[in-house]
Structure 1
């Protein structure tokens, strides 16, 4: 075995970034003796590796880091901005425009000196791409800033000396030296441990630190039960230990979970899918309309010359430009980016812009418990003494709170119950290795040192000033806690009482009770009866059923100032006590029972309101945790996730359901909202099951065990403070404050953004449909409307492609962008979330779009007809300027009417059914945008060189009245339609 680790004969090509396995595949370190593991890794546990050998192993196995995806080059990120069906449609239009221009120039048909249409379209596409790239880059920079931390350090044994090295330099065979407060930097096999306890919540979900010991396991155990193993990503809360590194980087348990992420693929957001769908519809519609027009022209007049072909190509360009809202991609990017910025101000960092809308559509939020729904701060809530039971207010590690009765009333300072409760907490705080420190005087921020459960007792003691009467006690010796003993004892000298010694003990109530022979009741100590024992044990069972972790406290005055004088304590030849930690039988005997405490990791105070708000919004909250089922059910009921008394499904039960097939599993996940004792694969399976049921699932998590499910969910949410790098990499959003309430606030923001997206989509698409109908109607009805050029064969388009681009890019863009920041409605969180099958643009909205488009086209063509000879509505005679000038004037009329019709449409599009006059001036940005659009239109009509570029001419006062009057009919028609729709809704409501 030793030969395997030092074998340097492998070819260099095998030494890839994917690390090789350090131990033989058939050697399970948890089932092997520590000495055998050391031999297999060729290391002396008492000396450690040499620096030279560690360097060789680092070259072979690679750094102790998780493999990350290779960075995407900036040029690829930029080109990705063009991967949009709408962009493809415009590129086709650009190509057609270039072909038409080239044919004109090469055959001497005149035409423009430069392909103006093609140049404008390309410039707009580049502008959109730059904007999208910049916004996504800003979001990525915010994430990078959050994740940058000082390079972690690890203590190892090298050449017989303890040294601190970069965690990335830890290699298989290194001897880790563990102490209280250390982070575990690799997987390893323990060979020495003293009172060692490790918090593994980030890996297993278990909120209570796990006791560790070096003894070999008799049989294979689940990850959370491998007491002789330590794992990367966990932390030491108590004691010391040494372990031989068995796996680093991707060969750790964390690495295996990270590797699972490669099995899942990112999916497009619902909004991205919808935009693809809209683009396909527009593309198909343009092709169909173009074919119909060209076929109709071919049948009616045929193609007799090259000019006919060129005109047909330009018609296709006009139809494409009219159909595609060129500013949509940029506007969508800006609106989402503004939403991302608002979320960042509220501690939610979104990595991908489209994730904002997805979160707003979430119908289920799956959340880890520890640190997400709870504070991950163990708190003493109950104190039970022989005289009764009290509550301790305040949560977390801030020493603020007070003792009250179960009825919430204060207790008299001299009441026996209060006196006993203070004595109980004091005993637990003295028999304690934890500490609480303020991070800067007066900062109100507290840091804990040691086991969270022990610190909870220290915090409780500070809340009620329990140690005031015990200030003279000084620790002399300790019998430490072990997982076998399930208790600890401290011997303290009371300087205020002649240095007399007292034993203070705490531990599992049933265990500690067996060492008690007396009980303190109402200031008196009397023998402990069998009835007392049964009462205490019944209380333990009751508190455990309420998800409390219970700890008993006891004490015994030794009536001496010397340990050597304590009966049963052994001394050496010099009369000194040297091994008191091994003499528990003499110390922990004849104890006096003081009472017990109930400790719990409390839910975040603000989460209950957030869960309630999510419920009102039709969003189901699901708790998924590795903790005990009773604890999970208790926390879930406290938060309102389930009713009081509700149950949790365990991982074992989920396995049984999975064996029955997807139908049984889906039925359970559709009904149950709390899951406990689950493994990472269970979390992933639950998310996938909920998605199969048509839900848009948000999954929150902090530990590496959450990462696969976080990545698979429609919107993965990682914790920014306690979250592991694996989870942050997998998530689409990171909570900088680790607060579940921030998720709900983000959902609210997402819903508001989605509402606004629908508003400007209704506006843009109805405007573009109006342009398509105008072009289509103008060509097909050219003979009736007089849209012809005498002496010129072929097609005469009613509006030029440059005019349509001007409308889409400038006069459309500003109002649409203003709609993207429309104020949220009050009922945004009182509506059911949209279903996965619901379209962003549904049938009703398409009906609205087509209705408005038809009205726009009608008023535009009527306005043009009024200024043309041979028109349907008027038969204006040809004036002295001639046919060409008349066509320019008619196009300017149509161009202007269409612009103003769309501005009236902007007011109407803020709601599908509510009158535009309700909250007419609520959005000041919209009115500013309308003003800008009007000013731009005036510029293009009255500035001479723009007249030439856009084919316009100045209009007189009468023409302006006609333009505004015809355009206003769009608002009048939509108001009448909304009136009818509201009447239908009222009738349906009465009928229902």
Structure 2
């Protein structure tokens, strides 16, 4: 129904309008156009379209209103760990009030509750960082969404143009073609063999034939044959429609679930990280309870102060041990990685697909345009009397015909062969939906449509054939489909009383079956079995030379009306029914004229990419509709198969049982003459074998296979909107090498995720072990003096929180953009069942955590009396001052140990000194952390807040020396692991 808004769209103009309660399917198309104030031949003006968009809004389904920034900021505090910190703040305030209330006159009591103030400040800083990280992630995702925004062809200012679907407005003229998604509801004004899949709206599985005729009565949605609806897709033919409803005023808008009711689904990686955080949080809470029990058992609580201080330590320990910024960091790293991919022409639509990309084990690729240049060129024309070669390459219509094997200009092509060449190229240029246009720059040419079809137009212009057929005008079409493998048009000759002729092109072996005659030497005679065998022999020969072959044929109808063709069915009014359904009446008794050999040279960079994929354990599979010999030749040239390798055809696949099919797909890497259902079966078979499959596609018939694949890849240039919507990734340059580059980038991103996970978790485990063993071994280390009363902890709660803030954010983010290692494509694909944090990584995390805790506690011991390593006198400065110095040492050692750990965590096996300075962002993050730590130690007001004291030069040497042991220990562990791995390889 035309929405009531449309009556208001141009109410200032005194034109007739369609009543809001009238169904446009029951109105004449011209009346709908008048009501919407649009000329169907011109479309809206750009200015009017802009005005209507301002009035009616973008062509989008309604979504939840944007969340205010203040709510997003407050959401940073909605976390169980933050709640723990708030509890810690409350405990700290209670302790301060109790101390103030019980303080004796003249005693030294803190004027301000510094612990509580610091915790609140850290909470705010943490929230600001989280907010900034989320905002950046949202910006990155929004930029990605704009790259993948669907587009629609419309008629505006008398020109067909591509616009974002969201810019479509009521009154626009939609220009529909095969593979397009319908972007709005509309009333058809023209249609040619138009069929639209409406299963998403009506549940009807069979595509619906559409015509612009006005309906005689109100129909159900699925029977409104003169209407098109938002969310459906064109499976065949062409058409034009006036937009009658956009956004929420479409049929799909009326039944769509509001986006506000749909929660964003977490990626598998995010789910695993949530699981890790949960497990780690539970473990740390248990440790915190153990620490409290150990304090109570070993030292006892001598007052409310001891209880409060112990609770504060336990809570802060639980918070400090869990990397609460992990989710935000993960999102930012994924989003930045996806943006890097986009710069290299690989547009990944969902962040979650990055994980899958790095795991790809099979890439199923179409040949034309992906493995080859998609610069189709007709080089050979084979007719019944001979063969010629056409010079010139690409789409510039410059060249001539010469006899095969002759030097250019040495030998004229005989007249009878020339006539056959003209007939062959003429049929191919007429039975054609392509278009060749001169570009904006002189000497450049733009193509519209299929490159193979355009190559026939180019060949016709080279030989001036187009001039011989300029009097023919198309009046009907039987479209090409992958099942039919041929296309026919009906054209009338305006120079010959408007008589009709059928012109056809298609796969030679298919088209030959519809031919009963052959044109030889200017005469037409019945085709013989010998002729058929000779033609098939020529097809095989050209295919062996890597040419794609297309046969051409025609049939004079000797009538000026399609209705007069024998076998054609008309309706009661005498109008011919859709000729696409009556192809048998037209495509029979045809005359074979010849065939062309078309070559599409392989992309020079693809061979290297195939080899790189092979080194990475990724198998490349070619799936094409071309002849098997052509497919095998191109595949062998690219290194997909060995020289002399074979290709399986769709017919051969149909004859196999499922067991035989699975065996074939595990061994064969080239498939030719396949239909869309074969692509889907191949993907399913490879997935049953445990492969992670990437599948490329461009046509609407490729959409099911692309959607089923683990990584559906759509062509950005030649791909249809339906395929792009089904895909997880879009190639902006339609190049196979871009897929391999995207896999490489995906592996690098996943490696970086593992790097910062190793760093964050090992650093936090180090903090936990430091506090735990510091409490358990307090008496041995001199942290608790003999006979002392009360609780003495190794590090203060504020110090632990500062370490968590200082070392979690900047270094982890910097590691997320670490350059790829050289071996990223020299290992087998990761299985999706493999854990992100496996046993080996957990071993590394615990090992580094233990070392970190050991060096921290040793550094503290060296500055305490009664310790294991030193017995420093307490008389000079007193135990309290000595404890402050020791804590400052442990505090600083732990910070620097984590910074050294950032360098060590960049690889589980490779030395940290390989590419040590390749990541400038990491060194910047380390420098920032060092500066902030110096401020905490040397600024007096921060000394008070964090319980620190300035350190001497000798103390700094001790701090850096002990912290560096973390890096040394990591290097020794890596050396042992590399040695063991080399030993295993040598044994094999």
TM-score, with normalisation over the residues of structure 1?
Answer: 0.70
Structure 2 gap segments, 5+ residues each: 5-21, 39-55, 101-108, 157-166, 201-206, 214-224, 480-486, 561-578, 580-586
* Range moving further from structure 2, 730-739 or 44-53: 44-53
- Asked if structure 1 preserves the Cα contact closer than 8 Å seen for 2:153 and 2:174, the reply is no
1:877 shift after superposition: 1.3
**CA offset at residue 486 of structure 1?**
4.4
Q: Which residue of 2 aligns with 1:576?
A: none
Aligned-pair CA distance for 1:906: 3.0
Task: Compare 437-446 and 629-638 and name the one that shifted more.
Answer: 629-638
Tell me by how many angstroms 1:864 deviates: 0.7
For 1:615-634, what aligned pairs fall within 5 Å after superposition?
A: 615-621=614-620
Aligned residue runs from structure 1 range 183-332, under 5 A: 196=192, 268-325=266-323, 328-329=326-327, 331-332=329-330
Cα distance change, pair 230–113 in 1 and its aligned pair in 2 (3 A): closer
1:457 and 2:456 matched? yes
The 1:789–1:636 alpha-carbon spacing in structure 2 relative to 1, beyond 3 Å, is: farther
CA contact (8 A) 2:364 2:623 kept: yes
Asked if the contact 2:151–2:721 (Cα under 8 Å) also holds between the matched residues in 1, the reply is no
Q: How does 1:296-695 map to 2 (within 5 A)?
A: 296-325=294-323, 328-329=326-327, 331-353=329-351, 355-365=353-363, 380=378, 382-386=380-384, 397=395, 399=397, 413-414=411-412, 423=422, 426-428=425-427, 431=430, 435-442=435-442, 444-448=444-448, 454-462=453-461, 465-467=462-464, 473=468, 475-477=470-472, 482-483=477-478, 486=488, 507=505, 518-520=519-521, 530=528, 533-539=531-537, 542=540, 548=548, 550-552=550-552, 595-598=594-597, 609-621=608-620, 637=635, 644-647=645-648, 676-678=674-676, 683=680, 695=691
Report the Cα offset of residue 350 of structure 1: 4.1
The 3-state SS of whatever aligns with 1:875 is: coil
Residue 702 (structure 1) shift: 5.4
Question: Within 2, Cα distance between the matches of 1:135 and 1:365?
Answer: 32
Q: Which stretch shifts more, 74-83 or 353-362?
A: 74-83
The answer to whether structure 1 residue 974 and structure 2 residue 974 are counterparts is no
Q: Answer whether contact 1:617 1:829 (CA < 8 A) is retained.
A: yes
- Give the C-alpha shift of residue 442 in structure 1: 2.8
- Hey, what does 2:852 align to over in structure 1? 856
Give the superposition deviation at 1:981: 1.9
Kindly state the Cα deviation for residue 773 of structure 1 after the two structures are TM-superposed: 1.1
Shift of the 552–543 alpha-carbon distance from structure 1 to 2, 3 Å rule, reads farther
Measured in 1, the distance between the counterparts of 2:973 and 2:154 equals 69
Q: Does 1:129 align with 2:127?
A: no
Cα deviation for residue 129 of structure 1 reads 2.9
The verdict on how the C-alpha distance between 1:920 and 1:401 changes in structure 2, with shifts beyond 3 A counting, is farther
Moved more, 716-725 or 343-352: 716-725
Offset, 1:882:
1.2
Quote the offset at 1:783 in angstroms: 0.8
Unaligned runs of 5+ in 1: 13-38, 56-62, 156-165, 216-226, 495-500, 564-581, 583-587, 658-662
Structure 1 residues 728, 313: CA separation in 2 closer, same or farther (over 3 Å shift)?
Answer: farther
The yes-or-no answer on 1:990 pairing with 2:986 is yes
Q: Does the 8 A contact of 2:171 with 2:242 survive in 1?
A: no
Q: Is the 8 A contact 2:936 2:943 kept in 1?
A: yes
Task: Quote the offset at 1:887 in angstroms.
Answer: 0.6
Rounded to whole Å, the distance in 2 between the matches of 1:459 and 1:693 is 45
Q: Deviations over 1:277-324 (max 9, x none)?
A: 331332132122112222233333444532232122122134224412
Matched, 1:802 2:793: no
Deviation at 1:785, TM superposition (A): 0.8
Q: Take 2:597 and 2:209, find their aligned partners in 1: how far apart are those partners?
A: 20
RMSD: 6.1
Q: Is the 8 A contact 1:340 1:350 kept in 2?
A: yes
Counterpart secondary structure, 1:383: strand
| Conserved? CA contact 1:475–1:492, under 8 Å | no
- The whole-number CA distance in structure 2 between the counterparts of 1:702 and 1:988 is 46
The correspondence for 2:86, drawn from 67, 92, 95, is 95
Deviation of 1:247 (Å): 13
CA contact (8 A) 2:779 2:785 kept: no
C-alpha distance 530-272 of structure 1, shift in aligned 2 (>3 A): same
Aligned to 1:163: none
Shift of residue 366 of structure 1?
5.7
1:393-440 Cα shifts (integer Å, max 9, x gaps): 988756588989999998955366996885466544675676411231
CA contact (8 A) 1:176 1:243 kept: yes
1:138 alignment partner in structure 2: 139
> Which sits farther off after the overlay, 485-494 or 962-971?
485-494
- In structure 2, distance between residues paired with 1:192 and 1:910: 62
Q: Is the CA contact 2:126–2:805 (under 8 Å) kept in the aligned structure 1?
A: no
**Matches of 1:80 and 1:391, distance apart in 2:** 70
TM-score, length-normalised on structure 2?
Answer: 0.71
Change (3 A) 1:942 1:600: same
Superposed CA deviations along residues 582-602 of structure 1, whole A, max 9, x for unmatched, are: 9xxxxx999997532256898
How many residues matched? 870
What is the match of residue 906 of structure 1? 902
Shift of 1:749: 1.3
Q: Residue 74 of structure 1 aligns with which residue?
A: 67
Partners of 1:198 and 1:789 lie apart in 2 by 90
Report if the CA contact (8 A) 1:117-1:801 is conserved: no
Q: Distance in 2 between matches of 1:447 and 1:604?
A: 19
Within the candidate set 760, 773, 779, 1:777 is matched to: 773
Q: Residue 901 of structure 1: CA displacement? A: 2.5
Report the alpha carbon displacement of residue 828 of structure 1 after superposing the two structures with TM.
1.5
Q: Which moved more, 1:531-540 or 1:933-942?
A: 531-540
Aligned equivalent of 1:944:
940
- CA offset digits 1:956-977 (Å, max 9, x no partner): 2222222222223223322322
* Aligned-pair CA distance for 1:987: 1.8
Q: Deviations over 1:658-685 (max 9, x none)?
A: xxxxx999888767776953469x95x9
